[in-house]
Amino acid sequence: MACMIAAILCGMTGIAGGMVLGPLFLKYNMLPTVMSSTNQYITMVASVSVALQFAMKGAMEWDWALIFGFIALISAYIGIQGVKKAIEKSGKQSIITIILTVVLVIALLSLPMKVILEKSKGTGKP
C-alpha cells in the first residue's frame, strides 16, 4: 500500500520513484544493497519504457541517446565498483545509505538553488 501511494505521488509530481522508494525501503529494514538494486531495476524499467515511447514516435535523437547511454553505462560501472570496494574496505553496508542521503540532499537543494541563481541573474520568470 505504501509503495502504491509513493508511486501515485511520484507520478503526480514528476519526481523519480527512487527518491521516495529508497528511504521507504530503508525504513522497512531492507538491506541497503537490496534497496539499491531494487531502485536501479525500477529506474531501468521506467527509462526503457520512455525510450521505447520516444523511438516509436520517431522523436528519439539517436546520436545523443547513444552518447548518453554509453556515458551512463561507464559511469554506472565505475560507481558500482567504487561502492563495492568501499563496502569491502569498511565492512559496512551503511555506505550505500550515506551515498543515498547525499544524493537526495543534493537533489532536494538543486531546484531551489537554480531558482535563486536565476533570480540573482535577473533571468527568473515571474
3-state class percentages of the chain: helix first, strand second, coil last, to nearest 5: 85, 0, 15
Domains in the chain: boundaries: 31-121
Distance CA 66, CA 58 (A): 15
Reference 36, options 79, 66, 69, 2; nearest CA is 79
Beta strands in the chain (DSSP E): none
How does pLDDT run across 32-50, given as a tens digit for each residue?
A: 778 777 877 877 777 788 8
| 75-103: pLDDT as tens digits | 988 988 888 888 888 877 777 777 777 87
Query: What's the whole-model pTM score?
Result: 0.53
Measured torsion, CA atoms of residues 109, 11, 36, 19, in degrees rounded to the nearest 10: 20
